[in-house]
Structure 1
Amino acid sequence: MANRELVVLGTASQAPTRTRNHNGYFLRWDGEGLLFDPGEGTQRQMLFAGVTASQVTRVLITHFHGDHCLGVPGVLQRMSLDRVPHPVRAYYPAADAEVFWRLRHASLFHDTLTLVEHPVDGDGVVADRTDGAGSDGFRLEARALSHLVPAVGYRLVEPDGRRMLRDELAARDIVGPDVGRLRRAGRLVTGGRLVTLEEVSVPRRGQRFAFIMDTRLCDAAFELADGADMLVCESTFADADAALARDYGHLTAGQAGQIAAASGARLLVLTHFSQRYETGPPERLRDEAAAAFTGEIALAADLDRIPVPKRKP
């Protein structure tokens, strides 16, 4: 099982179809499990995908249209039923906090879950696990998007670090706990010689993940996608329907490709497809994105497992 992967739980916009469930995405990131936009049916899709309620540590909602949040009641109630022992953190647009409250209390159940709410009321960092979090630390950032209702996109950023070089360490007889001491302090005296971290390591760029749902083209979308190793982006409409996309606050597949290209993304995951294309070849959307973006493109399907790209050498 990959330590960092996206599990696609659903890919349909607005209404589910015979082949696509409502939205839902589970990002496995080392010891964390981030559940994005759980639409209707997400709890059942989790069963098919082998994602358990206890694996979810954070729930992130971009906005409160039904295809992005109608699964919240079932998912939270399942967490209570399974008596998930750890706190679960929830992020959503602060302007619609009352809607989240109504979803949370949509039915009667024995609530045993420790849910910590983090309403997002501005751009910036909404969670920071970089201090003392070890190698799996990250910052979680949010930006306001351009939709018909308050909406935000999310971005996960791992801090830059350094990759230790085994041969260089061995040449200086640095082994075991001394490796950790050198990494933390940046220098180590061994065998009567001072060794610096720069001598035995090379820079390692932190990985980045971006999640952009319902929005028109806007500066925030490009900021979220900047340097993303994996960019999950809505592509509700084909380019021929660009006017509809603009009117309803959405992106075309070509515009998703533009965002990926301008932002230097590595892997673009297209999703959130309109049911109007259900009977046609979905490859047309990939082709339209590829006209703007020459990097890797994945056309998401329900229950896909897509690894976060390995680090560049």
Structure 2
Amino acid sequence: MIQQFSDRLIKPGPVMKIVLLDGYALNKDLNWEALGTLGECAYYDRTAVGNNAAILQRIGQAEIVLTHKTPLDAEVITHAPQLRYIGIMGTGYDVVDIDSAHKNGVIVTNITAYATNAVAQFTFSLLLEVVGQVGLHNQLVHEGKWASVPDFTFWEQPLFELSGKTLGLIGYGRIAQKVAVLAHAFNMNVIFYNHQPKKVTEKWVKQVSFDELLYQSDVISLHVIQSSDTINLINKDSIAKMKRGVILLNTARGKLINETDVTTALNAGQIYALATDVVQQEPITTDNPLLKAKNCYITPHIAWAPLETRKRMLAITIDNLKSYLAGKPINEIK
């Protein structure tokens, strides 16, 4: 039989109950029919964030929960005693209380390395927009500005070469390493700071201390997870150690930067530009100070979202679940 759920119909397979709490962002042009072969599935486009009662109601008696951004805190996990598996549809696992999951015998998996190329590519897209101003000048040409000037050229914002500039990477995981390769191709000097020393073989990459990176970098790009050690990592104190006129990039997590301090630095010219794909509260609120900051470029958390990347995420999500059901979990967060 086909069982009806709130948002969608999926034909169930075995008896195992599966709930997908927020598939919309991943699933605009894909489908989840493969879940129907693994269990009795309830699919929801969205689940209200901040409403644990609603989250628990949707989880119901499900043993398996898949989440992208819907948080599963200690209260939710504790009050869902039948829960045995949480599949996070992404790399970051700050949406799940991992300690509570472990205490309650719940296996948690995530998806690693699915978006390395996409996020590295987008990081450089942000940087190239800042230094090349393609979007602005395309807009001005279409508005008639070029047709109205007496010269063969004009520019409304400063343009910069990347060659010879120093890129500082905070964090040196897979994405940062890919960004480093792109920067090297543009003849940039590449340095990085990592909380644990990394062995590198490339002679053109240099590992430095956090303060050294702040002092030396013309461009700083963030590539660390969100944790108690990294929240507000970029604040008035760290900004004060940076070169005046630095460019700051963030395709990691919004809470890595103190938005009030960065806004102040942007408006004072200490930071030349911020280009970020993430903010502290998403979707962005109308009172976010960055919206009124000078030279601030904001995109709506789309670095991860190319079609190829989302297909990969979907495939790994299914593989993670299949492996768990077979008694051999992969990509488990310990």
Which structure has greater helix proportion? 2
Which structure has greater strand proportion? 1
Q: Which has the larger radius of gyration?
A: 2
**Fold-level match, TM-score > 0.5?**
no
TM-score (norm 2): 0.31
Could you say which structure has the greater relative contact order, defined with CA pairs below 8 angstroms and 6 or more residues apart?
A: 1
